[in-house]
Amino acid sequence: EDKVVQSPLSLVVHEGDTVTLNCSYEVTNFRSLLWYKQEKKAPTFLFMLTSSGIEKKSGRLSSILDKKELFSILNITATQTGDSAIYLCAVGGSQGNLIFGKGTKLSVKP
Amino acid sequence: NAGVTQTPKFQVLKTGQSMTLQCAQDMNHNSMYWYRQDPGMGLRLIYYSASEGTTDKGEVPNGYNVSRLNKREFSLRLESAAPSQTSVYFCASTPTRGRSGYGYTFGSGTRLTVV
pLDDT digits (tens, 9 = 90+) for B2-19: 799 999 999 999 999 999
Q: Per-residue pLDDT tens for A9-46? A: 999 999 999 999 999 999 888 888 999 999 988 899 99
The DSSP-derived string for chain B is --SEEEE-SEEEE-TT--EEEEEEE-S--SEEEEEEE-TTS-EEEEEEESSTT--EE-S--TTEEEEE-SSSBEEEEESS--GGG-EEEEEEEES-TTSTTTT-EE---EEEEE-
Q: Per-residue pLDDT tens for A61-108? A: 999 999 899 999 999 999 999 999 999 999 986 666 788 999 999 999
Minimal Cα distance from B4: which residue of A? A42
A88 contacts on B by Cβ (under 8 Å)? 42-43
Residues of A with CB under 8 A from a CB of B: 4, 6, 9, 31-34, 41-43, 45, 48, 88, 90, 92-103
Q: Are A34 and B41 inside 8 Å of each other by CB?
A: no
Minimal Cα distance from B32: which residue of A? A97
Q: Per-residue pLDDT tens for B19-69? A: 999 999 999 999 999 999 998 888 999 999 988 989 999 989 999 999 998
